[in-house]
Amino acid sequence: MSTPTHSETVAISDESGASGSIFSACKELTKPGITKLVTITALVGLGLGGLHYGVETAFDWVRLIIGVGLGTAIASGGANALNMWYESDRDALMKRTRVRPIPSRRLSSRFVLLFGLGMTVLGCAILGFTAGMLPALVALATTASYVLIYTPLKPITITNTLIGAVPGALPTMIGTTAVATGTGFAPLVEPVGLMLFCIMFLWQLPHFFAIAWMCRIDYELGGFRMLPIVDPIGNHTAATMVITSALLIPAGLLPLRITPELSGWATGTASVLLGLMMVWLSLKFAISRSDKAAKVAFFGSIIHLPVYLIVLVAEAGVRGLLL
């Protein structure tokens, strides 16, 4: 982590004093693409959970959608800012990240730390007031495991990707715990939340191993221990991608067992076809071990998740209206 000096009392360096530049840099801190994905998965958990457990009034739906969406987005943005604060020294060593706000001296380290903490507190507070304390605690646990466990482990162990998939999958449970039945911490072990957690956990592995392969030189420059760095031939990386892609098929079929009133042939077909696509793309990477094949597998994963979630939620919505 960069240690702020006495001169870092303003948000940006002397080269750019425009308020628009501050806003742009702050937006960059939140990693908008990741924040959008996290927010969508939380809302998927809310939607599927709400239909399964029975959110009854339109007022409750509106309150929960706004609260979970806004709270999750703000808390996620805060977590991403804290990640950039923690990794700023290593970011300065990598081509892909050296233009981030702290390494490029657009924002001070102290400002980013306070911004990240403030966003995290605000997001969790919104979740607590609108959806309940358990969703707020799940959001806080997501941030804590991301910033305090996964991020420090990245330069230490190649298992960091597996560990990082936990905070990546937890946001689905922000949504499900907002509507699940039970008292205390019981909603944390409700089947719908665990099902979505499982799907998100597995999806991240071929997705991020493809990224790690493409960016392995950059990661090595930054001092990160990623699997492709210690596996230069790619045997273990390819095998992991193929196996986890295959596991996406049974994981994607879980809704047919856990929420049978909401899931049927459409979700099942999407799971099988999209899962087979990921297996095929991972096998192509396993054969060639090329950056091009890894890039294709990466884009395949970007297709897989949104299409599957759209089908899952759409079918659940239609069936829910017909119940």
Q: How many residues does the chain have?
A: 323
Q: Indicate if 249 and 122 belong to the same structural domain.
A: no
Q: Kindly state whether residue 272 falls inside one of the protein's structural domains.
A: yes
Six-digit token string for 248: 């996406």
Domain match, 152 and 257 both: no
38: tokens are 């996290």
Instruction: Give the whole-angstrom CA distance, residue 37 versus residue 169.
Output: 11
Among 116, 44, 37, 62, residue whose Cα is nearest residue 84: 116
Tens digit of pLDDT for each residue in 53-98? Answer: 988 899 999 999 999 999 999 999 999 999 999 999 999 999 889 9
Position 13 in a domain: no
Domain check: are 42 and 175 in the same one? Answer: yes
Q: Does 166 share its domain with 30? A: yes
Same-domain status, 114 and 257: no
Residue 308 domain-assigned?
yes
Q: What is the pLDDT of residue 323?
A: 67
Whole-angstrom Cα distance, residue 106 to residue 9? Answer: 12
d(CA 149, CA 144): 7
Nearest to 60 by CA among 179, 185, 187: 179
Domain of 57: which CATH number? 1.10.357.140
User: Does the structure show a pLDDT above 80 at 16?
Assistant: no
- For the chain, give the mean pLDDT: 92
| Model pLDDT, residue 183 | 83
Question: Tens digits of per-residue pLDDT, 238-265?
Answer: 999 999 999 999 999 999 999 999 999 9
Non-local CB neighbours of 277 within 8 Å, separated by 6+ positions: 300, 303, 304
Residue 256 covered by a domain: yes
CATH of the domain at 204: 1.20.120
Q: Write down the residue that tokens 């927010």 correspond to.
A: 39
Please check whether residues 290 and 200 belong to one and the same domain.
yes
CA-based radius of gyration for the chain? 20
pLDDT tens, position by position, 99-134: 999 999 999 999 999 999 999 999 999 999 999 999
**Residue 38 and residue 60 in one domain:** yes
Please give the average per-residue pLDDT across 181-186, as a whole number.
Answer: 87
Q: Based on the fold, state whether residues 135 and 283 are members of the same structural domain.
A: no
User: Domain ends where: 133, 163, 181?
Assistant: 181
Output the pLDDT for position 17.
43
Same domain, 165 and 27: yes
pLDDT confidence of 181, banded at 50, 70, 90? confident
Domain tally, the chain: 2
Domain encompassing residue 43: 20-181
- Residue 304's φ and ψ, nearest 5 degrees, are -55, -55
Mean pLDDT, range 34-55, rounded to an integer: 95
8 lies in a domain? no
pLDDT above 50 for 143: yes
Tell me, yes or no, whether 4 lies in a domain.
no
Together in a domain, 204 and 310: yes
Question: Could you say which of 160, 181, 202 is where a domain stops?
Answer: 181
Query: Is 40 within a domain?
Result: yes
Same domain, 177 and 197: no
Element (H, E) at 281: helix 265-288
Which run of H or E residues covers position 107? Answer: none
Q: Which of 181, 209, 230 is where one domain is finished?
A: 181
Residues 244 and 319 in one domain: yes
* pTM (predicted TM-score): 0.90
Query: Is 5 inside any structural domain?
Result: no
